[in-house]
Structure 1
């Protein structure tokens, strides 16, 4: 009877999520519902699936009580609205009907065409119009008119009585009760961006739009039994049981080859063996055995097409585009992926298990994570979208929800509260005071109901779906501002339906590497094979820099925590770097396992292993389970579980396994199997304790290895081509640190770094020989128009010769010219800044003048004899600080009023262990952490006067509420401590030092 049900996926309209809807329907013993969310089908498949599950899954004690299971018949459709006004709603008669509705909505979304007032001719779809619609035509065979019970009186002598078979019950469902209706009104006000009291009545649902018992609904229409019969007949004609076969097979495109599955198998085998020879040479027995094992499982799980589609993407990127990529994630556990060049991680060298990626018992779909440079990813995405047919490829969506303080702000706005009051309500320091405020308590009450409700649909960071059957069987498509069609649900629903996404991601680290290779070729005329990883990892120079922990600018290994770890480990090889990339993760570090690993790393002969199996399998990590793969190893070799069960157990312990009963069975199987191996109960219990305590925050070894490969590539470029590498880092917007740190590193390479210059700078930083010019992009306040125009005009028509010509050729405005003059970008004129400022005012005055480039005669501009205008170094430095966010040639230490620079330098800290020292440090960054007592402590990173890094620790009992006061230099009194030969300062006193003020700002 319920033909028009809205869930919370009817964004800022419906109030009940799908489980709540179904639970309320079960409580009222409702046997059929039609989910018709507004202009979307986000929840359609979820609704069908959950109705089916709830219909068959009844707890045993419920059966004993006499509550026998019954099945809610799920039907789905879409409610179509234009400008917040209901046009009609469509109800799918079948799976094909759902596709028809989805493609109808998708077409209008993608083409940005308004929905028509009348539905087109549809097959396998019923259309229901509201009773208030006026018809100037006969209704089609699939068209009906819905009546609310309150509208029955209007039927008297109504023309529709001559088409009785077209009238159906219309009882919309939007809210669950009066409280839910109040929430609905808040949602409508937020959607319409208006006050709660100003929401029009026709923009809200009726107050009675909630579920009632079927018998009660029929009673309301008992005077018109034919309407009830029409409605029942309509629902009976709908059959979406085709959706009930959930996840029996992958929904991804099954075959890459048009000829079918067998051709896919043959092609994958041929390409894999060709890659095997490239990676391992001929007749490598270990590699052949491994590749045969993987191919068998890939064929069994019907993943040949998935591998081949990924290979096709990589082939396009490496071939025509010459793009660099990194394949990471659990896919790097596969030798087939390694041979297809999807990844550069050798699974044999690292003893990686394919079962971590795919095995016979895996039910959730795995995927590859492929990273490209940030400015090249779009090309790859466009290739994929264009390669596959319309409706068969789309981006994965995301659904953002209402969260925390944002909810308070939204509610406060629709209540008409002033901004200052809203700010106060979201200030955590005023929490106790707010609790006494009646308005705040009202906001919190609404917050409880709105928290985590769907707010808006968006696009996933990189997930793409390529479907065997049209995706529109499962979702309508949106077209977000990025311009790629997108499904209307997220990755969790995609997995539930049976889709494996292709993750096409981007990262700055790849951009650094790729641009550095291009710059090196241009500046040094050297071609670099950046994929020659085997050479990089054995290079003693690279490993020496790793050991010293100074890889600033290098992907993943430049952060203070990572630099400290590298020094503590004295890391000087690839395998240790792989381990470091894993143990740096928050869970491992906070658990104490990082410290344990470092201790054992430096004293491997003192490691005591629990048993022989633990020593054999964990010798490389000194008995510490560092990786997820270690969990699999122990479960397999110690307890005797097969590799498939070992990975399922690993996944279950990480919180990604939903069946509690199945998990308990696996735990029991672990203990039973371990006993069969002859292990004692005490030993088994201890091994299980270690596994279970670690597995929840373990990290994939393949993932760590992928990061380590990229780190070595960055390290190679920085070691042998430091100037070009640091320019590339700057042009890809840096990494972990602020921009000035990378400029500092560039200067340390010996490069002559220049301020922006209109005759030498480009949009980005450039380098010619040993001279590097900062680009226009970094200038605060300079408009994009002039960032592009100034170098473009110079390249087309030659260098600028004087200020007047520069003004005429660029048509620059007075304000923009002043920015460039203050920064010294017009120093080519040979005039000082203040003279140039005088001149620019004489050219442009207080209004911009249009110059005619095509002058017949050049007019000589009148010159004046100016008095001697003084320029100071500190004044220039302040201008650079304002316009670049850092002074280029004026140290932050030079701003200080004091000449004191500390009694110890960073390079000498190891000579003062246990002593109290004074240091002066230029602030780089800080990190806040919470202690076990829920108090705050801080870690700081600074540069001394010599440009060397040192680190500080600020404990709660010696530190004010918040010790750092932004960029600048600090006086630090503290005790030098050492942890595994890494010195740092435990701060006792800490204060920011006073500076000389800008003379221009001083009266």
Structure 2
């Protein structure tokens, strides 16, 4: 009898989940009900999936509203009707149009108009599919209304939004948050009625007993509705069934493409390669995934035509078919990639292909997919209310002062000492936490469906401009829709831009370079030496301090070692304690025979019996615990955070333990292995995924080895990486570049290199307006370089504050005039209040002003750069108030091994972490006076005494230690060093004698 039920996917309105709605219905003996969220269908598929568990027949619909003003409720008679409703809502969401007061003529959906609306609009006629909804509150007015005459058009419309008073209070708070106003100011029109509750069926029937025809109409309407989606284990994929017109054409095409790819990938393919190919093709056909592979092939083929760089990774990288189709660049035969991780007969979903594109190309390739295929949408996701955020929102709604809100959100309060309002904030914060706040987009998921996507969900249109489903990845897989992952990353853009820079900066080298010749890079001793010495700043996935430390400890100097390292660095392996064990076994391979269980060593000889890759979970579950491949995959997926059935997972866990006991393993061993599996399975990479990352790492390492300046410019132009901009500028300098501040005649928006001269881009001038930047570049491109400040001011419309910014950074240094004199000139030539919006037709006559002779110091320049760029172009050590007492650096650590060292370092990055007992400690990476890096660790007793206080130079006293050959300093004392006072704001500041030389630029 309930045709108008809401969940918390009626965003910032509803108060509980679709499962809780079903529980509520079951408690009230409701046998069938309609889920009708407000302008949203996020919960519909899961509601339909779960309804059978509660013995309830699901009906799907939409509560169509303009804001909170209810227009009508649409109820789907069947799946086609649900699609009609979704299409109607989507059109209005995409075009941001108000919903019309009268619904369209739906063929397979009913429309229920609220009683009040029909009275208000004086609606006199209703079509066959249209009804009038009467709530319990409307029953008092019904006998006195003309609508009582339309007996066959009246149905029960008792809205369900709350379970109790607490839900109603939460609803009011959500409405206040949505309207960004104090709760006390929230109009009643923005709230639902407090009576929007579910009553037991018999109570509802009793309320309508005098109008039994309304109950009969409602039951007849509901009985005529039937919705069905297949959620069974054996369900067919809902992805596009065929790439060509027929399945046979698809199968013929994939065979042909693989045979064409064989000689390109393998010089002399042996029987092992042919057998693996046949095994894969047979299974791909049997599982019905041929079109999935061909669609991915289509996407990467188009990418290559457009000159886009891409990396294919994920579990699909274990596939030789993917390798031959050039979806991936990882040879599964060479790396002995585990076929069953890629696919097995028990796996319900197709292999996972993550295809990375440059962040600059991703949108274009997405547009191609939308244009190329018919039924396409981005996959949705939900942004939920998080604890700190919701407390802040509720604090504002209750009108608390900012200081109190800060205290509450940071958890610095004693609950017992709080006033009533603050306690309410915390109480309702816990209730609202985790509810969906607004719809968002999955990181890279795209759905390409056989049916229109509106068959499954309405779509909305986020700022990117691509239709996006209202459900997430888990629901999509439940119903048989498997995503194509089209992701963006900056690493590929760095490779592509390096090539573009080489084409103009070193054209002879560019013409001979094939950046895809990864096999050659893998064998290059200079590239491998860069990995071994961990000189990897700016290189994809291998530049962080943790990765640099691991590479040194493992002494990695080859591709396979890098593949392993890129998975070992993941949180799970370290958490399980197996990272350290792996390093020990790698450095002493006899240890593996002593410590590893023979079965584990036999399963994973390459990794010394240590689980490193995702497929190791499958191997251990299958060979160590005798689980079937299907059960092993349940185990892997259950730990990935993407799995739905916890019950199924727990059953497999129990079977894992039982099987091991039957095999006679001791409980200590069983639970040790289980803990290893459980601790890292959700974080580890598939081996093929790690191998794909390692390919891209090798490409960037090669470019850094042979073309370091061009590569570092590309790194800077694509947002840097793990570190701050200044350290990539420093790395370019260490590689031989001469760094120049932005220049009016030689700089562009981004960084530009001429030979070995690197000119910083205007983009680093944070206060320089984009329109000014564009005018400068356009004018310079059209009419050539500027000859003087006056020439610039005549040609470029620019306000005084913007030209002052350029003068202060010394962008007019080509004039040979001191920048203080230039500032005088600019202020004299430009009227401060003059509106500048177009260039002058004729150069004005200039008055010749007499300007006093001024000078600029190097220190003043450095502090100006610090202010305007965020970093200075000289060594930061030259800004110290006191000259360093020594010149110790990274080069001296070996000499001090086991002894104490006094050393100065400029802070690059610091990791603030906690021990297993919760005590704070720090790992910090710093730059020494010679520009090299070194690492420090502050254990809890020292970390309790000393804090890092932002960027700057610190003096350390500590013991040099070595762990597996990686040198670091265990800090005993630490002190931040003061910079000299900014000379721009002080008079006659004496400069330390050691700092009086010309500063490096």
What's the TM-score, normalizing by structure 2? 0.94
Secondary structure of the 1:42 match is coil
1:438 offset after TM fit, Å?
3.2
Q: Determine the C-alpha separation between the residues in 1 that align with 2:271 and 2:433.
A: 57
Paired residues of 2:709 and 2:737 also in contact (CA < 8 A): yes
What is the distance in 1 between the residues matched to 2:838 and 2:130?
67
Taking the aligned partners of 2:528 and 2:417, their CA distance within structure 1 comes to 57
Deviation at 1:243, TM superposition (A): 5.5
Alpha-carbon deviations, 1:16-54, whole Å to 9, x = none? 211111111111111111111001111111111111233
Structure 2 Cα separation of the partners of residues 13 and 996 of structure 1:
57
1:964 aligns with 2:948: yes
* 1:400 aligns to 2:400 (yes or no): no
Residue 922 in 1 paired to residue 906 in 2?
yes
Report the Cα offset of residue 649 of structure 1. 3.7
1:463 paired to 2:445:
yes
Q: 2:166 — aligned with what?
A: 179
Q: What is the CA distance between 1:904 and its match in structure 2?
A: 2.4
Deviation of the 1:606 alpha carbon: 4.0
SS in 1 for 2:771: helix
Q: Who is 2:397 aligned against?
A: 414
Distance change (3 Å), C-alpha of 1:776 and 1:257: same
Aligned twin of 1:47: 47
CA distance in 2, matches of 1:983, 1:797: 56
- Tell me how far apart the structure 2 counterparts of residues 682 and 198 of structure 1 sit (CA, whole Å): 62
After TM superposition, give the deviation of residue 663 of structure 1 in Å.
Answer: 4.6
What is residue 630 of structure 1 aligned with on the other side? 616
Relative to 1, partners in 2 of residues 1:381 and 1:959: Cα closer, same or farther, differing over 3 Å?
A: same
> Deviation string for 1:98-149 (max 9, x for gaps)?
0000000111112222211100111111101111122344111111111122
Describe how 1:88-167 pairs up with structure 2 within 5 A: 88-133=72-117, 134-167=121-154
Aligned length: 980
Partner of 2:241: 254
Query: Could you tell me how far 1:543 is from its partner in structure 2?
Result: 0.5
Deviations 1:177-214 (A, max 9, x none): 11111111111111112211222212211111111011
- The counterpart of 1:861, out of the listed 846, 851, 861, is 846
Is 1:204 the counterpart of 2:188? The answer is no
> 1:787 deviation in Å?
2.1
| Whole-angstrom CA distance in 2 between matches of 1:130 and 1:39 | 16
Aligned pairs for 1:817-896 (under 5 A) are: 817-848=803-834, 850=836, 853=839, 855=841, 858-888=843-873, 890-896=874-880
Counterparts of 1:787 and 1:422 in 2: how far apart (Å)?
A: 41
Quote the residue 2:326 is aligned against.
341
Query: Within 2, Cα distance between the matches of 1:563 and 1:868?
Result: 52
Partner of 1:363: 348
CA–CA distance in 1 between the matches of 2:33 and 2:79? 16
The equivalent residue for 2:915 is: 931
Moved more, 160-169 or 5-14: 160-169
Conserved 8 A contact 2:230-2:479: no
Q: Single out whichever of 947-956 and 958-967 deviates more from structure 2.
A: 958-967
Q: Are the equivalent residues in 2 in contact too, given 1:397–1:488 (CA < 8 A)?
A: yes
1:294 corresponds to which residue?
280
For the aligned residues, what is the CA RMSD?
2.2
Provide, for residues 505-536 of structure 1, a one-character-per-residue CA deviation record: whole Å limited to 9, x for no partner.
Answer: 01111111111111112211113322111111
Aligned to 1:975: 959
Whole-angstrom distance in 2 between the partners of 1:862 and 1:764? 36
Give distance in 1, aligned partners of 2:886 and 2:708: 30
1:989 offset after TM fit, Å?
0.7
Q: Which residue of 1 aligns with 2:26?
A: 26
Change (3 A) 1:969 1:732: same
Which sections of structure 1, spanning at least 5 residues, go unmatched? 56-71
| Secondary structure, counterpart of 2:926 in structure 1 | strand
Q: CA deviation at 1:861?
A: 1.3
1:724-772 deviation line (CA, Å, top 9, x unaligned): 0000000001000000000001111112221110100111111122221
1:295-345 CA distance string (max 9 Å, x none)? 1111111111111001100000011x1100011111111111111111111
Query: 1:58 is matched with which residue?
Result: none
Answer whether contact 1:954 1:986 (CA < 8 A) is retained: yes
Residue pair 1:251, 1:497 contacting (<8 A) in 2 also = yes
CA contact (8 A) 1:246 1:497 kept: no
Give the match for residue 67 of structure 1.
none
Q: Is the 8 A contact 1:48 1:244 kept in 2?
A: no
Given that residues 52 and 244 in structure 1 are in contact (C-alpha distance below 8 angstroms), is that contact kept between their aligned partners in structure 2? no
**Residue among 883, 887, 890 paired with 1:906:** 890
Contact persistence 2:743–2:759 (CA under 8 A): yes
Whole-Å separation in 1 of the counterparts to 2:135 and 2:628: 61
How far apart are residue 678 of structure 1 and its match? Answer: 9.8
* Cα pair 1:425 1:434 within 8 Å, conserved: no
Partner of 1:486: 468
Q: Unmatched 5+ residue regions in structure 2?
A: 988-1001
| Map of 2:995 onto structure 1 | none
Find the residue that maps to 2:439 and give its secondary structure: strand
User: What is residue 743 of structure 2 aligned with on the other side?
Assistant: 757
Q: Which moved more, 1:1-10 or 1:284-293?
A: 284-293
Q: 2-side partners of 1:847 and 1:247: how far apart? A: 74
| Residues 142 and 246 (structure 1), Cα distance of their counterparts in 2 relative to 1, 3 Å cut | farther
Give the Cα separation in 1 of the matches to 2:404 and 2:674. 53
Separation of aligned partners in 1, 2:139 and 2:662: 74
Question: Is the contact between residue 638 and residue 677 of structure 1 (CA under 8 Å) also seen in structure 2?
Answer: no
**Structure 1 pair 157/602, CA: closer, same or farther in 2 (3 Å)?**
closer
Are 1:238 and 2:225 matched, yes or no? yes
Q: Determine if contact 2:518/2:695 at 8 Å carries over to the other structure.
A: yes
Alignment pair present for 1:220 and 2:187 = no
Query: Partner residue of 1:63?
Result: none
1:703 maps to what in 2? 689
1:275-286 to 2 correspondences below 5 Å: 275-286=261-272
Question: Is the deviation greater in 814-823 or in 273-282?
Answer: 273-282
**Against the structure 1 CA distance between its residues 433 and 974, is the aligned structure 2 distance closer, same or farther, given a 3 Å change threshold?**
farther
CA drift of 1:697 comes to 4.6
Q: 1:851 to 1:438 in 2, by over 3 A?
A: closer
1:140–1:951 CA distance, 2 compared to 1 (3 A): same
Offset at 1:688? 5.8
- Cα distance in 1 for partners of 2:630, 2:784 equals 67
Match of 2:981, SS state, is: coil
The match for 2:9 is: 9
1:797 aligned to 783, 790, 797, which one? 783
Equivalent-residue separation in structure 2 for 1:402 and 1:678 (angstroms): 48
Q: Give the match's secondary structure for 2:141.
A: helix
SS in 1 for 2:9: coil
Instruction: Work out which of the residue numbers 484, 496, 502 in structure 2 matches 1:502.
Output: 484
Structure 1 length-normalised TM: 0.94
SS at match of 2:984: coil
1:245 & 1:588 partners in 2: Cα distance? 35
| Equivalent position of 1:68 in the other structure | none
Q: Is the 8 A contact 1:808 1:852 kept in 2?
A: no
The 2-side partners of 1:185 and 1:653 are apart by 38
Q: Is it true that 1:77 corresponds to 2:64 in the alignment?
A: no
Mean CA deviation greater in 509-518 or 371-380? 509-518
Aligned counterpart, 2:312: 327
Taking the aligned partners of 2:627 and 2:967, their CA distance within structure 1 comes to: 45
Partner in structure 2 of residue 60 of structure 1:
none
2:235 aligned counterpart, secondary structure: coil
- Over 3 Å counting, the alpha-carbon distance change for 1:209 and 1:673 in structure 2 is closer
Label 1:459 to 1:358 Cα distance change in 2 as closer, same or farther (>3 A).
same
Partner of 1:441: 423
For 1:257-316, what per-residue CA distance to the aligned partner results, in whole angstroms no more than 9, with x for missing partners? 12x111111111111222222111344211111111111111111111111001100000
Alignment of 1:676-755 (within 5 A): 691=677, 695=681, 697-755=683-741
